[in-house]
A and B are shown apart, each in its own frame.
Chain A
Amino acid sequence: MEAAVFILSLVDCCALIFLSVYFFIITLTIITLSDLECDYINARSCCSKLNKWVIPEMIAQALATVLMLVSMHWFVFLLNLPVASWDVYRYVKVPMGNMGVYDPTEIHNRGQLKSHMKEAMIKLGFHLLCFFIYLYR
């Protein structure tokens, strides 16, 4: 019994650590995007900065989801699943000629900057929520 609780909290702790890394990533995304919006950095460097974090973010999210599944926290797992699948979908859906999820030649077009921003904000909200769920569970 004791062992099970121990493992569970460990798993939770792991998830938390992932989440805090994540938090950093998401925050970074928003700051970088807002910098781009305000013309502090150019599209090229902004996108290369952000594209570096796409895969780590995806892996972290997937891991968190898997950990929840393993520890059989069904509710939290179901909460995490759509976000993880969205991350994977977004990565897979990048057209062949593009330079990643964030493409410097397109980021200023068709309100992409705004939609990226919105997405990052929603994720931030989601992780805040998750954070408390993990904390007070």
Chain B
Amino acid sequence: ALFISFNISAKCSYRFNNANIKINIYLPILIWWLIYRESLMHIISGHNMTHRDLCGDSSSTTTDSASPVPNSYESLEGGGYSGTSLRSPPAGVPAKQAPPFGYNYPTMHPAYQQNPAPKPNPSPSHGGYNPPGYQPYSQPFPSLSELSSALGGLGGVSELEAETLRPVNLLQERNILPPKRAPPPEPNLSNDLRKVNCSPDTFRCTLTNIPQTQALLNKARLPLGLLLHPFRDLTQLPVITSNTIVRCRSCRTYINPFVSFLDQRRWKCNLCYRVNDVPDEFMYNPVTRSYGEPHKRPEVQNSTVEFIASSDYMLRPPQPAVYLFLLDVSHNAVESGYLNVFCQSLLDNLEKLPGDTRTHIGFVTFDSTVHFYNLQEGLSQPQMLVVSDIDDVFIPTHDSLLVNLKESKELVKDLLNALPGMFTHTRETQSALGPALQAAYKLMSPTGGRVTVFQTQLPTLGAGLLQSREDPNLRSSTKNVLHLGPATDFYKKLALDCSGQQIGVDLFLLSSQYSDLASLACVSKYSAGSVFYYPSFHHIHNTAQKQKFQKDLQRYLTRKIGFEAVMRIRCTKGLSIHTFHGNFFVRSTDLLSLANVNPDSGFAVQMSIEESLADTSLACFQAALLYTSSKGKRRIRVHTLCLPVVSQLSEVFAGADIQAISCLLANMAIDRSISSSLSDARDALVNAVVDCLTAYRANGSNIQPSGLIAPAALRLFPLYVLALLKQKALRTGTSTRLDERVFSMCELKSQPLQQIMRMVHPDLYRIDNMTEQAALHLNDSVIPQPPLLQLTAEKLTREGAFLLDCGSVMYLWVGKCCNETFIRDVLGFQNYASLPSNMTEIPELQTTYSERTRAFISWLLESRTFLPAFHVVKDDASTKTSFFQHLVEDRTESAFSYYEFLLHIQQQMSK
């Protein structure tokens, strides 16, 4: 119970619900008791009086306690629209509330309505909603009427909508891929709201037009959900320090740009519609240093803000940054040589570890025993303490195993220098991961923090030992894949214990054999950690993997980190969240407990519409992440997203965000494959497309019946689903190791949307003939913009060189007859034959050709946090299968080509 403020809020918002539920529970018991009494009475004396009395009693109790529910909401909402008009509004605010939309058009610039497709960066004359001297009366506060009228183009179907609804015959359209990665669809809001709305990189909804009712949503057959990347690295973030953080008194929503100010002193919550007071402090605007402008405060001007929280938001002093490294030092681990890479990397980044003067660090190594390191300041060298009792592991000494990094820096450096050499001749092949984790838990539980585990094999000793479950002969079976779930609940329990003590566990698995990642990953999954997997890692034999490990470690060690975090996602009354995806523990209905939060993890939630949204025109979602920064400050990052509510099925289709839908479907499919079976999950994915397109066909009457018709907004749906079916996580028939499959599942569930999309449907470019045409010019470097190509071998030519960007890995495929200038000027070799088969980087050559290519690649990597592994693939090398498996539109032995898949869908639809 560390975060009382969040809990209180939940209790408040559920109070009414609760009354209802308690009645539900007690009623049957009461009835039972009554009847029981009755029967007793009957038996004893046949007396009827008591029974009648009691009955009257019970019915009155029921009505009494049931009635507050609607009543309270009534008072909360102020009786809907009429209620607000009862209050006398101050001068300047129209006394009568406008109807939801289409009424206030005169306040808009006339040109706006004729504007065909609202531009992303509109000119100020279109944007300002309060141009001086234009409006007949000035309206100081964006009242509800304005907010609702602000829904652009709802009077009729706008041209933008018409474009996204344009029917596309998928069977005839060959090149459906846009030349550039398509931006997410813009919600159909006014420019003012759109300008302040949350960035789609942070917060995305699968349907940018929220359907009004669950029935409408069911008709569209599309999943409704949110994809979040809340702790993303931001370049610009307004940070607010104030004594009172303004929140709705009823639902505890943070004040945001989409609330409406009724007058100077009152604001109306956009999630529960309660009218709240504006506190005095809020009247002063620290940015403009003026008084009396609550609507100009940064909280109301930005949909992403960060508050410095006061002591109300903590139950204990903010914890220091504490890092514990748990290293496998068995024979297998030493053989792979990861220790050297890790120690070097940590030595290089020791200064850059996020933290302040209180930062603590510790090391534990394990093979068949657990070794602790005493790094107490003042010792001449690190002391190793061995605990061989792994059945009941204990902490040998309490205060000197986790030491202040600043004070014991020299000892830590000594240890890191010595560690790789200490175990070079070990004969120990066993691994006691479970006891080591228990030790780590005991060591960390007073403070909380981050545990980083490096494991190279199956744990074979002590608690949590695992058996090999993979049958290599079944790797490519088309039948069911077994063992996708954990084999034991040990790791899950441990993760929940860790989560309770604010310990996050990150897992680096570097192994060549099966290590049962399905079980091991649980330790990170439920403690909000991250999982990294380097199959067949070896420091000499697999340089690509080693480089990737180095790059990942560099980012991992230096990236931002938040401790003891919780995230709550609130949505407009009527919407509710029913399923969560990602690495965390769902502590209560809408509270995610995140022991650690890192900037590279994404989350997804599925939602349902419980009550009709007919009386509102905007739906809002707010994600609030409360965390302790590495500097020991308690902070709250708040993101708010606002979307229009629509009543027509065609509008729902028009607003579909196909990338978000695909990602959410991927998450759902993975859940299904674990809880049910892989083939079920695959069928469900195909059915998702079939159902959606059938719904679209049934809706549109003016569409020619032949062909496979999809609205333009959904034209990539079948392609993305096909790509999903060919992912390592979900494919069948192609040989896939169980660990790699499970890792792919972990990635799909915990990565942010952009990363998943690149993984599922990589970008293919031809880069040997890039011209400066349409190139970007960014501070005197020229970045060519080659068009995206369909993922099919048909687009590859022997004369070309192609770049395939899969997010975590990049391939440069060089054709047999690739022009020699490219090979010489970019790759630095004389001809195709002299190219080595295991090139992992592009040399920095001083030719324009090379510079242009490198500029393009580094532009692609610009916003990436983890740098991808790079492979140069020759057309004849054995590595080319790993390149060709990403060409998802092509037929493989066991999977459809894109065209076959379309025909399959058409066939299913006509059934």
Known: A38-B21, A108-B589. A99 touches B492 (CB 8 A): yes
Query: Which residues from chain A contact B586 at a C-beta distance below 8 Å?
Result: 43, 105, 107-109
Query: A40–B587 Cα gap in the complex (Å)?
Result: 11
Known: A27-B29, A99-B489, A105-B526. A111 touches B578 (CB 8 A): yes
A42 at the interface (CB under 8 A from B): yes
Query: A38–B11 Cα gap in the complex (Å)?
Result: 7
Query: A115–B129 Cα gap in the complex (Å)?
Result: 48
B830 at the interface (CB under 8 A from A): no
A128 at the interface (CB under 8 A from B): yes
B492 touches A97 (CB 8 A): yes
B519 at the interface (CB under 8 A from A): yes
Query: A125–B585 Cα gap in the complex (Å)?
Result: 33
Query: Which residues from chain B contact A34 at a C-beta distance below 8 Å?
Result: 18, 21-22, 24-25
B810 at the interface (CB under 8 A from A): no
Instruction: Write the B521-538 contact mask toward A (1 if CB under 8 angstroms, else 0).
Output: 010001000000000000
Instruction: Write the A105-129 contact mask toward B (1 if CB under 8 angstroms, else 0).
Output: 1011111010000000100110010
Query: A66–B555 Cα gap in the complex (Å)?
Result: 63
A44 touches B500 (CB 8 A): yes
Known: A30-B25, A96-B487, A104-B496. A36 touches B588 (CB 8 A): yes
Instruction: Write the B456-495 contact mask toward A (1 if CB under 8 angstroms, else 0).
Output: 0000000000000000000000000000011111001100
A96 touches B485 (CB 8 A): yes
A124 to chain B, nearest CB (A): 6
Known: A36-B588, A108-B589, A128-B32. A99 touches B493 (CB 8 A): yes
A31 at the interface (CB under 8 A from B): yes
Known: A38-B14, A42-B587. A98 touches B25 (CB 8 A): no
Q: Which of A44, A111, A113 gathers most chain B CB within 10 Å? A: A44
Within 8 A of B (CB), among A52-108: 95-99, 104-105, 107-108
Query: A95–B580 Cα gap in the complex (Å)?
Result: 20
B39 at the interface (CB under 8 A from A): yes
A37 at the interface (CB under 8 A from B): yes
Query: Which residues from chain B contact A31 at a C-beta distance below 8 Å?
Result: 25
Query: A44–B18 Cα gap in the complex (Å)?
Result: 20
B579 touches A110 (CB 8 A): yes
B258 to chain A, nearest CB (A): 25
Query: A42–B499 Cα gap in the complex (Å)?
Result: 12
B21 touches A96 (CB 8 A): no
B671 at the interface (CB under 8 A from A): yes
Query: Which residues from chain B contact A43 at a C-beta distance below 8 Å?
Result: 585-588
Residue of B nearest to A136 (CB): B39
Query: Which residues from chain B contact A97 at a C-beta distance below 8 Å?
Result: 485-489, 492, 518-519, 522
Query: A105–B350 Cα gap in the complex (Å)?
Result: 35
Residue of B nearest to A125 (CB): B28
Query: Which residues from chain B contact A109 at a C-beta distance below 8 Å?
Result: 578-580, 586, 671
A39 touches B7 (CB 8 A): yes
Query: Which residues from chain A contact B518 at a C-beta distance below 8 Å?
Result: 97
A44 touches B496 (CB 8 A): yes
A135 at the interface (CB under 8 A from B): yes
Known: A97-B492, A104-B496, A128-B28. A42 touches B588 (CB 8 A): yes
A110 touches B578 (CB 8 A): yes
Query: A83–B643 Cα gap in the complex (Å)?
Result: 46
Query: A31–B27 Cα gap in the complex (Å)?
Result: 12
B419 to chain A, nearest CB (A): 33
Query: Which residues from chain A contact B496 at a C-beta distance below 8 Å?
Result: 44, 104-105
B28 touches A96 (CB 8 A): no
Query: A38–B526 Cα gap in the complex (Å)?
Result: 22
B17 at the interface (CB under 8 A from A): yes
Query: A135–B35 Cα gap in the complex (Å)?
Result: 12
B10 at the interface (CB under 8 A from A): yes
Query: Which residues from chain A contact B18 at a C-beta distance below 8 Å?
Result: 34, 38
Known: A108-B580, A108-B589, A109-B586. A39 touches B522 (CB 8 A): no
Residue of A nearest to B525 (CB): A105
Give the total of A residues in contact with B, Cβ under 8 Å. 32
A37 touches B589 (CB 8 A): yes
Query: A96–B483 Cα gap in the complex (Å)?
Result: 10
Query: Which residues from chain B contact A95 at a C-beta distance below 8 Å?
Result: 485-486, 675
Instruction: Write the A41-54 contact mask toward B (1 if CB under 8 angstroms, else 0).
Output: 01110000000000
A77 to chain B, nearest CB (A): 23
Query: Which residues from chain A contact B22 at a C-beta distance below 8 Å?
Result: 34
Query: A108–B587 Cα gap in the complex (Å)?
Result: 8
A2 to chain B, nearest CB (A): 23
Q: Which of B10, B17, B489, B579 gathers most chain A CB within 10 Å? A: B489
Query: Which residues from chain B contact A42 at a C-beta distance below 8 Å?
Result: 587-588
A45 to chain B, nearest CB (A): 10
A19 to chain B, nearest CB (A): 12
B25 touches A96 (CB 8 A): no
Known: A97-B519, A128-B28, A128-B32. A105 touches B585 (CB 8 A): yes
Residue of A nearest to B487 (CB): A96
Query: A109–B589 Cα gap in the complex (Å)?
Result: 9
Query: Which residues from chain B contact A27 at a C-beta distance below 8 Å?
Result: 25, 29
Query: Which residues from chain B contact A104 at a C-beta distance below 8 Å?
Result: 496, 585
Query: A40–B29 Cα gap in the complex (Å)?
Result: 21
Residue of A nearest to B593 (CB): A42
Residue of B nearest to A42 (CB): B587
Query: A27–B24 Cα gap in the complex (Å)?
Result: 12
A96 touches B10 (CB 8 A): no
Query: A128–B36 Cα gap in the complex (Å)?
Result: 10
A96 touches B488 (CB 8 A): yes
> Which one of B10, B25, B675 lies within 8 Å of A39 (CB-CB)?
B10
Query: Which residues from chain B contact A38 at a C-beta distance below 8 Å?
Result: 11, 14, 17-18, 21
Known: A97-B487, A97-B492, A110-B579. A39 touches B671 (CB 8 A): no
Query: Which residues from chain A contact B29 at a C-beta distance below 8 Å?
Result: 27
Instruction: Write the B1-43 contact mask toward A (1 if CB under 8 angstroms, else 0).
Output: 0000001001100100110011011001100100100010000
Query: A98–B492 Cα gap in the complex (Å)?
Result: 8
Known: A34-B21, A44-B500, A111-B578. A39 touches B488 (CB 8 A): no
Residue of B nearest to A98 (CB): B489
Query: Which residues from chain B contact A121 at a C-beta distance below 8 Å?
Result: 28
Residue of A nearest to B491 (CB): A97
Query: A42–B6 Cα gap in the complex (Å)?
Result: 13
Query: A110–B11 Cα gap in the complex (Å)?
Result: 22
A109 to chain B, nearest CB (A): 5
B565 to chain A, nearest CB (A): 16
Query: A44–B587 Cα gap in the complex (Å)?
Result: 8
Query: A13–B10 Cα gap in the complex (Å)?
Result: 45
A39 touches B487 (CB 8 A): no
Query: Which residues from chain A contact B493 at a C-beta distance below 8 Å?
Result: 99
Residue of B nearest to A100 (CB): B489
Query: A93–B319 Cα gap in the complex (Å)?
Result: 41
Query: Which residues from chain B contact A125 at a C-beta distance below 8 Å?
Result: 28
Query: Which residues from chain B contact A105 at a C-beta distance below 8 Å?
Result: 492, 496, 526, 585-586
Residue of B nearest to A46 (CB): B588
Query: A31–B26 Cα gap in the complex (Å)?
Result: 9
> Which one of A39, A99, A132 lies within 8 Å of B588 (CB-CB)?
A39
Query: Which residues from chain B contact A110 at a C-beta distance below 8 Å?
Result: 578-579, 671, 675
Query: A128–B21 Cα gap in the complex (Å)?
Result: 20
Query: Which residues from chain A contact B675 at a C-beta distance below 8 Å?
Result: 95, 110
Residue of A nearest to B25 (CB): A30
Query: A97–B22 Cα gap in the complex (Å)?
Result: 33
Query: A37–B21 Cα gap in the complex (Å)?
Result: 9
Query: Which residues from chain B contact A107 at a C-beta distance below 8 Å?
Result: 586
Within 8 A of A (CB), among B268-282: none
What are 23 A-B contacts defined by CB distance under 8 Å? A30-B25, A34-B18, A34-B24, A38-B14, A39-B7, A39-B14, A40-B11, A95-B485, A96-B485, A96-B488, A97-B486, A97-B489, A97-B522, A99-B492, A99-B493, A105-B496, A107-B586, A108-B580, A110-B578, A110-B579, A111-B578, A128-B32, A132-B35
The 4 closest A-B pairs by CB, nearest first: A97-B486, A108-B586, A39-B588, A39-B10
Q: Given A98-B489, A109-B578, 5 more contacts at CB 8 Å?
A: A27-B29, A95-B486, A96-B486, A97-B519, A125-B28
